[in-house]
Amino acid sequence: MRQAGRYLPEYRAIRQKVDFLTLCKTPELAAEVTLQPVDILGVDAAILFADILLPLEAMGAELQFVKGDGPTFPSPVRTREDIARLREPNVDETLGYVFDAMRLVRRELDGRVPVLGFGGTPWTLAAYLVEGGGSKHFEHLLAWSYGDPEGLSVLLDRVADVSIAYLLGQIAAGAQALQLFDTWGGLLDLDRWRIVALPPLRKIVDALKGKVPLIYYINGGTHLLPALAELPVDVLSVDWRLPLSEVRRRLGDGAPKILQGNLDPAALLAPIPEIERRTAAVIEQGRGGGHIVNLGHGILPMVPVENAKAFVEAVKRTAI
């Protein structure tokens, strides 16, 4: 996760020339940074470089990336009246640059490794849109979910519809699998996740099921595993807070056949022998079912490139 990013000098060199949104919206540059981890680290799949919030911009929400603050929405959506201001975009017109980048990546890779597309879940996208950016407490989102859950469901459903069109567009452009990121799904308890966050997520999963393999990632969501066992995706991607063997035990017979994860991203700051030891431990914990070795969250920007390489190489040596 976050294969292309600030830990790579080659990525930083491009970012010195263009801002983040320009990088996302320039297919040649987005394709170039997508390919960097494949060439530099030797990973087994490329993840298209984009941002999960782009569909919200396509819906008419002003999106800014402010240095030091990350993504911000100067006019957050917090009421039913605010929802009415959002539009139903033609994704080919508003997000076609993402599809163009996907086509370029497929052409450049020429089958070397598969290419993954991705998107955010409606709940996670709404977390940014309602709060106006990142948040420590998500007070606006959570208050809305308690005070007017029906109104919030209207927003989530609108986001789900745009997400379906966007993800289908990625498939048409060449995505060979899709990953859905639920970074803030863990904010909700199990019952409220089922009531609030699951319906729009299921709408997306049901629309995409069978077209390409679907991966669902949840951060901070180990308490949601009983519900995740019922989610009809091909791969469940989890954070690092539980060993994979315990994740599989809690999922029980309803578990997806394949788990993805789940090395602590901070482990890549350790000495290389410790990285190798911990990578071997993750692989051992993942035995007993299908397992895609990965980090449990995005790679940290301060990770040395040689440490990231050591992780990938350790996987390839050990995961036999």
Residues acting as catalytic residues: 2, 6, 15, 51, 128
The angle subtended at Cα 66 by Cα 58 and Cα 133, nearest 5°, is 60
- Secondary structure element (H or E) that encloses residue 129, with its range: helix 122-131
| β-strand pairing of 70-72 with 64-66 | antiparallel
- For residue 125, give every residue at least 6 positions away whose Cβ sits within 8 Å of its Cβ, in sequence order, or none: 52, 53, 55, 56, 159, 163
Enumerate residues 6+ apart whose C-beta is below 8 A from 246: none
Q: Is 6 left (phi over 0), alpha (psi -120 to 50) or beta?
A: alpha
With contact defined as beta carbons under 8 Å apart, do 179 and 118 qualify?
yes
Handedness of CA 161, 164, 167, 168 (dihedral sign): negative
Please list the residues that pair with 118 across neighbouring strands: 179
The C-alpha atoms of residue 17 and residue 234 are separated, in whole angstroms, by: 39
> Within 10 A of 16 (CB to CB), how many other CB atoms are there?
7
- Integer Cα distance of 126 and 166 in angstroms: 16
